[in-house]
Amino acid sequence: MRFCVCIKQVPDVAAPVHTGRMVLNAYDASAVEEAIVLKEKHGGTVDLVLVGPSGATETIRKALAMGADDAYHIIAEDHDKLDSFAIASMLAGFFEGREYDVIACGKQAQDTDAGLTGPMLAEMKGLPYASNAVGLDIEGDRLVVTRQGDSGQEILVLSPPCLVTCSNDMNDPRIPNLRGIMAAKKKTIESLPMDQVGGNVSPRSQTIDVFDPPGREPGVMLDGEPNEMAGTLVNKLANEAKVI
């Protein structure tokens, strides 16, 4: 099948905020991994598309090094002002006239946790979709998706063209090997100016400010023998915190 994975470059949430380290969104890395696994098993192609500033090329190279084929970079220098709607609109413009069987997205971006772009794009393109996939497979000409719901999992069958959003619980993305890295260096990334892609890029929401949440009160550390700690804790839960 012909896959196209929408990838986003995000700040590394596990690094201290001030480092500004940028990485491939973990959920998108899982989407790339799964598409490549299916390509290895059933044939097909895996392309990539990213909307972001020029500096995001590094992230595209990383995904190419995992084994993807062609990559498109929609250049949006002030990407931070764009919300999921603006991104989805741009992607809808990008996909106009391009034929893919499956568009794969991450279930959410690790920095904003919005989780909107995939289903928005599916609706704009009139595609059936499944969100929060934890497993993908191909049966004949159909895509089989296991999705994680609120109280269980659902196995869904989709007929391409279709869209799926992926959870990182689906797999562990491969670390590119030297051969992959060398091959990725030789690939050309087609860059597309934002205004050539089409689509309505006016965001429908705007972030006013970002701040540190109120911190938690420092905790109390208990020590001693297990039974002493247990006794102290129960006492505190009952009389201090009053939760039991």
Partner 1 sequence: MARVLCVAAVQDGRIKRSSLEVLTHFRQLCDRSGGAVEAVVLDPQPNQFVDTLQKYGASRIFLVAGDAFGQHLNEPVVRALESVFRQSGADAIAFASTESAKDVLGALSVRLGAAVLSDVADVDVRDGDWVATRPVMAAKRHARTKALTTPVIVSVRAGSYVASEAPAEADVVEVSFSDDEQARRPEIREVLVALGGTVDLSEATVVVAAGRGVKDNEGRQLIEELAEVFKAPIGATRAVVESGMYPATSQIGQTGKVVSPDLYFAIGISGAIQHVAGMVNSRVIVAINKDPDAPIFQYCTYGLVGDLYKILPSLTEELRAAVAG
Ligand X SMILES: Nc1ncnc2c1ncn2[C@@H]1O[C@H](COP(=O)(O)O)[C@@H](O)[C@H]1O
Q: Footprint of ligand FAD on this chain (CB under 6 A)?
A: 26, 110, 168
Q: How far is the CB of 151 from partner 1 (least distance, A)?
A: 6
Contact 165, 146 (CB under 8 A): no
223 binds partner 1 (CB under 8 A): yes
37, 57, 137, 156: which one binds partner 1 (CB under 8 A): 156
169/26 Cα distance (integer angstroms)? 10
57, 112, 146, 232: which one binds ligand X (CB under 6 A): 112
Q: Decide which of partner 1, ligand FAD, ligand X, none touches 8; Cβ closer than 5 to 8 Å per partner kind.
A: ligand X
Q: How far is the CB of 89 from partner 1 (least distance, A)?
A: 9
Number of chain residues interacting with partner 1 (CB under 8 A): 81
Contact 22, 11 (CB under 8 A): yes
Tell the residue number behind the tokens 């869904």, with chain if given. 156
Q: Decide which of partner 1, ligand X, ligand FAD, none touches 226; Cβ closer than 5 to 8 Å per partner kind.
A: partner 1
Q: Which stretch binds partner 1 (CB under 8 A): 52-60, 62-70, 164-172, 191-199?
A: 164-172
Long-range contacts of 168-173 (CB under 8 A, 24+ apart): 168/26, 168/27, 168/29, 168/30, 169/134, 170/30, 170/33, 170/34, 170/133, 170/134, 170/135, 170/136, 171/30, 171/33, 171/34, 171/37, 172/33, 173/26, 173/29, 173/30, 173/32, 173/33, 173/66
Positions in the binding site for ligand X (CB under 6 A): 6-8, 25, 27-28, 49-52, 84, 87, 105-106, 108-109, 112, 114-118
